[in-house]
């Protein structure tokens, strides 16, 4: 599904991502981890066609991301702050979604809003952070995407809301089966919900692959995901310290 070769992205003269090579098959739930500023959001924006790469070749389903309306219809994206239109009501979001998306599943979206206990007449700006995140996920899933991309979707949620959000995501995945790509700093969540991992550090892919492969230690023992990620993050820190000295 995702093929990246030598992909880089520059903001003015500074490279946020460099020389990324990735291959991710369809049907995976992919976790994206890395320290602050590693380039996670930038990579997600490249993969959803919100930003063009400054270098390299990037293909999703064999096409350049965002290259056609048909391609865009296949992707659901929830950005970092669960963006919704604050002045629109929950119901107006559903109407907007129906008008803007060819594959919109109106019945499912309405049922989901009812299940969540959201008041259809409530303005989105008055919802709690968790409710906004749930509304944004509902809108992204009602598109019936083949790929759902979530940028730190649970960062602002309390532990219960986070669990509910991830459970609903898992249920939707079981029901409709989109591939999922999700960035998070919460390694426990990723260990539970993902079967593929990408570790970014300082704009480079440090490790990527199916989770069982990444967790297999050289001595045949299965390592903890947290240890694998911390090891990569430590490498980052060491590199930075070396550059400073």
Contact residues for ligand ATP (CB under 6 A)?
A: 11, 16, 34, 36-42
Q: How far is the CB of 225 from ligand ATP (least distance, A)?
A: 18
Pick between residue 38 and residue 84 the one whose CB is nearest to ligand ATP: 38
Name the minimum Å distance from CB 38 to ligand ATP.
4
Which residue number, 185 or 223, has a Cβ lying nearer to ligand ATP?
Answer: 185
- Residue closer to ligand ATP (CB basis): 52 or 120: 52
Helix, coil or strand: residue 155: coil
Instruction: Give whichever of 113 and 200 is closer to ligand ATP, judged by the CB atom.
Output: 200
Give the nearest distance from C-beta 209 to ligand ATP in angstroms: 19
Q: Nearest approach, Cβ of 48 to ligand ATP (angstroms)?
A: 13
**Cα(33)–Cα(39) distance, integer angstroms:** 10
Q: How far apart are CA 82 and CA 66, in angstroms?
A: 20
Distance (Å, whole) CA 143 – CA 149:
12
Q: Identify which of residues 25 and 37 has a Cβ nearer to ligand ATP in the complex.
A: 37
- Encoding tokens for residue 85? 């239109």
Residue with tokens 């702050």: 81
Sign of CA dihedral 171, 79, 113, 100: negative
Nearest by Cα to 182 from 202, 171, 166:
166
Give me the least distance between CB of 11 and ligand ATP, in Å please.
3
C-alpha to C-alpha distance for 234 and 172, rounded to whole angstroms: 35
């Amino acid at each position: 599904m995702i093929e990246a070769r030598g992909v880089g992205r520059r903001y003015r003269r500074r490279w946020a991502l460099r020389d990324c090579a990735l291959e991710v098959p369809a049907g995976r739930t992919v976790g994206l981890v890395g320290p602050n500023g590693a380039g996670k959001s930038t990579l997600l924006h490249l993969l959803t066609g919100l930003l063009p790469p400054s270098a390299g070749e990037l293909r999703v389903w064999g096409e350049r991301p965002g290259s056609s309306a048909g391609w865009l219809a296949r992707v659901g994206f929830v950005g970092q702050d669960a963006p919704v239109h604050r002045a629109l009501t929950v119901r107006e979001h559903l109407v907007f979604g129906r008008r803007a998306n060819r594959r919109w599943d109106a019945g499912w979206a309405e049922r989901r809003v009812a299940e969540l206990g959201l008041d259809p007449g409530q303005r989105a700006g008055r919802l709690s952070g968790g409710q906004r995140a749930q509304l944004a996920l509902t809108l992204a899933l009602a598109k019936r995407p083949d790929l759902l991309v979530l940028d730190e979707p649970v960062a602002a949620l309390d532990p219960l809301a986070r669990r509910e959000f991830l459970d609903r995501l898992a249920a939707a995945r079981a029901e409709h089966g989109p591939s999922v790509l999700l960035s998070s700093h919460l390694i426990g969540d990723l260990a539970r919900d993902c079967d593929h991992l990408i570790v970014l550090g300082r704009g480079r892919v440090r490790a990527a692959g199916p989770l069982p492969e990444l967790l297999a230690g050289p001595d045949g023992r299965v390592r903890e995901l947290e240890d694998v990620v911390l090891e990569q993050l430590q490498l980052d820190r060491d590199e930075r310290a070396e550059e400073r000295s």
